[in-house]
Amino acid sequence: MQTEPEQTLIEGRGLARNFPQRRGLLGQARDVWALRDVNLTIARGETVGVVGESGCGKSTLGRIMLGLDEPTTGTVDFDGRDLFALSGPERRKLARRMQMVFQDPFGSLDPRRSVGAQIADGLRTHDIVPANEIPTEVARLAQQVGLSHDAINRRPHEFSGGQRQRIAIARALATRPDFIVADEPVSALDVSIQAQVVNLLMDLRRDLNLAMLFISHDLHVVRHLCNRIVVMYLGRIVEEGPADKVFGSPAHPYTRALLESTPSMKPTGRDLGDRVLPGELPSPMNPPSGCAFRTRCPLAEPACAQAVPPLDPQGPGWRAACIKAGPVKPAIPEPA
């Protein structure tokens, strides 16, 4: 059962991020926009899933919301404070409440140090508990994520991929955060292990009232875990809303196309027909005018090239950026 959202914890407004690139013999500068005019709010206890093809800006958004990367324009407020207006010491103090779980659990762990020592790092750095209580707290964190007590004395290479991801989650929890960004945290794991890690994240969200930004390309996982869904295409949000609405009756043609290309998640009312999303993501160096999805959309018409469509309401808390936006039914069944 999903936790009801509470008050806003973190809010990104007008976020844009460009990466200047030089190409050719003359070194002509071109901007690559990873994000364009993104607004995102996450409440305490809420898990927001971000989906879209590779290169759509999901990971860039996650890093900016954590303060690991600064936006070219826009602001991020965490618990009412402008993250990028804080001094270095103030931001480091706030960073204790914001943690990340990476895609590759082995690459994010130091192979030369014991698991317990790495979980203890955050406890020491942020003075979470007195020094004499650190061993007890490390053991508690290991148990919380389903690891045995003897695991804390071993090194990362002695564990499976799923166990290493549990270690990474324990390390993130050590600072007692309010907000976690999980960037493809189960994509490198076997399907059977994915379910265990996702269930662990669900339990932690419920027990600790964590806010979470969950980035994934796996729509099944996102549908199971998240309260709200954000669908991104070429740096912009094209649909956002409650998980049951976005997956059950998608309003944007791109969302429908993602579902069409995912086995067992096809809506049976089909404005798009029964076909896989054609073509490739356009280059962010030279995006199409107007709606960026129009070059792949079977519903496109000349008006789609004229202006970027706004995110218009489709229902309570539900928006889509398409001049032909509208829900498709019947809905996808709720997961068992």
Question: Tell me: the pLDDT tens digits for 32-44?
Answer: 889 999 999 999 9
Angle at the Cα of 119 from the Cα atoms of 118 and 123, rounded to 5 degrees: 110
The answer to whether residue 334 scores a pLDDT higher than 90 is no
- Poorest-pLDDT segment among 127-141, 207-221, 271-285: 271-285
CATH architecture observed for domain 8-111+175-320: 3-Layer(aba) Sandwich (3.40)
**CA pair distance 117, 330, nearest whole angstrom:** 52
92 compared with 322, residue with greater pLDDT: 322
Residue 284: predicted pLDDT: 81
Look over the chain and give the mean of its residue pLDDT values, rounded to a whole number.
88
Per residue in 89-133, pLDDT (tens digit) is 888 888 899 999 988 777 888 999 999 999 999 999 999 999 999
End-to-end Cα distance, the chain: 12
326 compared with 176, residue with greater pLDDT: 176
**CA pair distance 29, 27, nearest whole angstrom:** 6
Q: Which two tokens stand for residue 30?
A: 């071109």
- Three-state DSSP at 252 gives coil
> Average pLDDT in the 22-27 region?
60
Residue 235: predicted pLDDT: 94
pLDDT above 70 covers a percentage of the chain that reads: 89
Helix, strand, coil percent values for the chain (each to nearest 5): 35, 25, 45
Label residue 136 by pLDDT band (50, 70, 90): very high
Cβ atoms of 319 and 240 within 8 Å: the answer is yes
DSSP assigned state of 15 = E
215 compared with 25, residue with greater pLDDT: 215
For the entire predicted model, the pTM comes to 0.89
CB under 8 Å to 209, separation ≥6 — which residues? 3, 6, 44, 45
The answer to whether residue 192 scores a pLDDT higher than 80 is yes
Q: Which two tokens stand for residue 179?
A: 């907000």
Residue 270: predicted pLDDT: 43
The answer to whether residue 323 scores a pLDDT higher than 60 is yes
The answer to whether residue 5 scores a pLDDT higher than 60 is no
Per residue in 242-252, pLDDT (tens digit) is 999 999 999 99
Angle at the Cα of 299 from the Cα atoms of 14 and 55, rounded to 5 degrees: 45
Label residue 187 by pLDDT band (50, 70, 90): confident
Which residue type occupies 214?
Answer: F
Label residue 264 by pLDDT band (50, 70, 90): low
pLDDT above 90 covers a percentage of the chain that reads: 68
Residue 332: predicted pLDDT: 46
> Average pLDDT in the 72-82 region?
95
Strand partners for 35: 17
Rounded alpha-carbon distances, angstroms, from residue 252 to 6, 110, 164, 218, 309: 27, 43, 37, 18, 11
Cβ atoms of 183 and 100 within 8 Å: the answer is yes
Per residue in 157-185, pLDDT (tens digit) is 999 989 999 999 999 999 999 999 999 99
The answer to whether residue 327 scores a pLDDT higher than 90 is no
Residue 173: predicted pLDDT: 96
Q: Which of 44, 48, 78, 79 is nearest to 64 (CA)?
A: 78
Instruction: Match 């202006």 to its residue by tokens.
Output: 307
